[in-house]
Amino acid sequence: MKKALITGVTGQDGSYLAEFLLGQGYQVYGMRRRTSTPNYENVEHIKHRINWVSGDLTDLASLIEAVRVSDPDEVYNLAAQSFVAASWPQPLATGHLTAISVTNMLEAVRIVKPTARFYQASSSEMFGKVIETPQKETTPFYPRSPYGVAKVYGHWITVNYRESFGMFACSGILFNHESPRRGVEFVTRKVSDGVARIKLGLQKELRMGNLDALRDWGFAGDYIKAMWLMLQQDEPDDFVISTGEMHTVRELLEVAFSHVGLDYRDYVVVDPEFQRPAEVDLLLGDCTKAKEKLGWTLEVGFEQLVKMMVDEDLKRVRHEAAYLHAMSANA
Ligand code: NAP
Ligand code: G4F
């Protein structure tokens, strides 16, 4: 039975990847950091099937111990400070968690289990102020945020460990991917949650930033399969993963609001608080290499994804509202 260690298993991608690998018959080790309140929301349903190891990205000793305990065939390094907007007010923390920690993880693998295959969660944010469109593996990077800069470091250190030490280290350059498990501060989930709250009368407006930004949005459940495929190849390599379609934030709002019979223009307020110091105006990926070499395909399209997220938030918010109503009736 193959063994996989996942960092960031409590996050969106980690939870889908853990599910997928369990389905493939893997023994899954999930690394989680200590938090004051345990955060198992995304993995509650598979919590008992994961072998939990404790570790923090910034603590090399704990990563060495996580690799020693799990003795993995494959390591998926997904943990990071992943919210772009937070990287301006916290550039140093982002540098430690999203850049330097990749070296920590690579060192832990090199020292303890250098034959383990390694996946690094790189990002289309590295393309930033894009040099060409669509973006592919050979497109030069021009990051626009401390997060993007940190991811460029993580990408190149992964390539460097492959070339320096012969490690099977791959970097997946993934474009935006979303799901009902997405953190609520990211734009797709902020919109699906806001639409559900407005529809159910719990919120009156939705305050947003740049509605003209263009993103290539896919479904996280499709993208984690590409991570796995990269580690099943004969040779390590880097791949762009994307849908090859882009939409504005405005289109996202249109699809989400009209799904519940509302017009977004009646509820959305543009608020400078959500504008970024430097914006990535456009991201559009060309994943021809992944399709041809990995045989990767995507199943969920943009509209289906947005509707799925709104439907899930409607269920959750309805449940929350009923609970609050029952509590106030009993008070
Ligand atoms: P996410 O939901 O924000 O998950 C991040 C994970 O990292 C969480 O499990 C978090 O743990 C963990 N983490 C943060 N700081 C840590 C620390 N100091 N020690 C140990 N664990 C820590 O992110 P995601 O959307 O699943 O993305 C996964 C990875 O892919 C990230 O590296 C992200 O930057 C990258 N990426 C994402 C996308 C996308 O569109 N989703 C695209 C390209 C690249 P807690 O639960 O305790 O906070
Ligand atoms: O959903 P976002 O916060 O995602 P962003 O910045 O594209 O980053 C995500 O994708 C990257 C891959 O390209 C990942 F590496 C990264 O970890 C993360 O998962 O914002 C998307 C767009 C931006 O242009 C932003 O300015 O939506 C725009 N936007 C407009 N109003 C907003 C808002 N974003 C957020 N979060 N909140 C708003 O109110």
Residue 73 CA from chain centroid, whole number: 22
Confirm or reject: Cβ of 13 under 6 Å from ligand 1. yes
Give, in degrees to the nearest 5, the angle at Cα 207 between 244 and 128.
35
Sign of CA dihedral 89, 58, 221, 151: positive
The kind and range of the H/E element at 119 are strand 117-123
Give the model's pLDDT for residue 322.
Answer: 85
Instruction: Per-residue pLDDT tens, the chain, 331 aa: give them.
Output: 999 999 999 999 999 999 999 999 999 999 999 999 989 999 999 999 999 999 999 999 999 999 999 999 999 999 999 999 999 999 999 999 999 999 999 999 999 999 999 999 999 999 999 999 999 999 999 999 999 999 999 999 999 999 999 999 999 999 999 999 999 999 999 999 999 999 999 999 999 999 999 999 999 999 999 999 999 999 999 999 999 999 999 999 999 999 999 999 999 999 999 999 999 999 999 999 999 999 999 999 999 999 999 999 999 999 988 888 788 888 7
Cite the DSSP H helix spans in the chain: 12-23, 60-70, 91-94, 101-112, 146-165, 187-199, 220-230, 249-259, 288-289, 302-330
The domains found in the chain, sorted by start residue, are 3-178+216-241 (3.40.50.720)
- In this structure, the residue with its CA closest to atom 3 of ligand 1 is 82
Give the model's pLDDT for residue 329.
Answer: 82
- Which of 215, 270, 281 has most ligand 2 atoms within 8 Å of CB, for mutation? 215
Report how far residue 229's alpha carbon sits from residue 235's, in angstroms, rounded to the nearest whole number.
12
Report how far residue 240's alpha carbon sits from residue 236's, in angstroms, rounded to the nearest whole number.
14
Confirm or reject: Cβ of 33 under 6 Å from ligand 1. yes
Please list, in sequence order, all residues whose beta carbon lies within 8 angstroms of the beta carbon of residue 7, skipping any fewer than 6 positions away: 14, 31, 55, 57, 66, 75, 76, 77, 78, 79, 105
Could you tell me the two tokens for 76?
A: 């998926």
User: Per DSSP, what are the bridge partners of residue 30?
Assistant: 6, 52
- In this structure, the residue with its CA closest to atom 38 of ligand 1 is 176
Give the model's pLDDT for residue 205.
Answer: 98
Confirm or reject: Cβ of 42 under 6 Å from ligand 1. no
Phi and psi angles of residue 71, each rounded to the nearest 5 degrees, phi first: 45, 60
Report how far residue 27's alpha carbon sits from residue 17's, in angstroms, rounded to the nearest whole number.
12
Confirm or reject: Cβ of 8 under 6 Å from ligand 1. yes
Give the model's pLDDT for residue 178.
Answer: 98
Report how far residue 151's alpha carbon sits from residue 136's, in angstroms, rounded to the nearest whole number.
16
Radius of gyration over every alpha carbon of the chain, rounded to an integer in angstroms: 20
Known catalytic membership, residue 185: no
Ligand 2 centre distance from Cα of residue 170 (Å) = 24
**Contact assessment for residue 257 and residue 206, using Cβ atoms and an 8 Å cutoff:** no
The kind and range of the H/E element at 168 are none
Q: Give the pocket of ligand 2 (CB within 6 Å).
A: 82, 84-85, 123-125, 175-176, 185-187, 190, 208-210, 213, 215, 249, 274, 276, 279-280, 283
Known catalytic membership, residue 147: yes
Known catalytic membership, residue 44: no
Sign of CA dihedral 123, 12, 90, 99: negative
Give the model's pLDDT for residue 321.
Answer: 84
Edge to edge, the sheet with strand 239-241 lists: 51-54, 27-32, 3-7, 74-77, 117-123, 169-174, 239-241
Confirm or reject: Cβ of 79 under 6 Å from ligand 1. yes
Q: Which atom of ligand 2 is nearest to the CA of 276?
A: 26
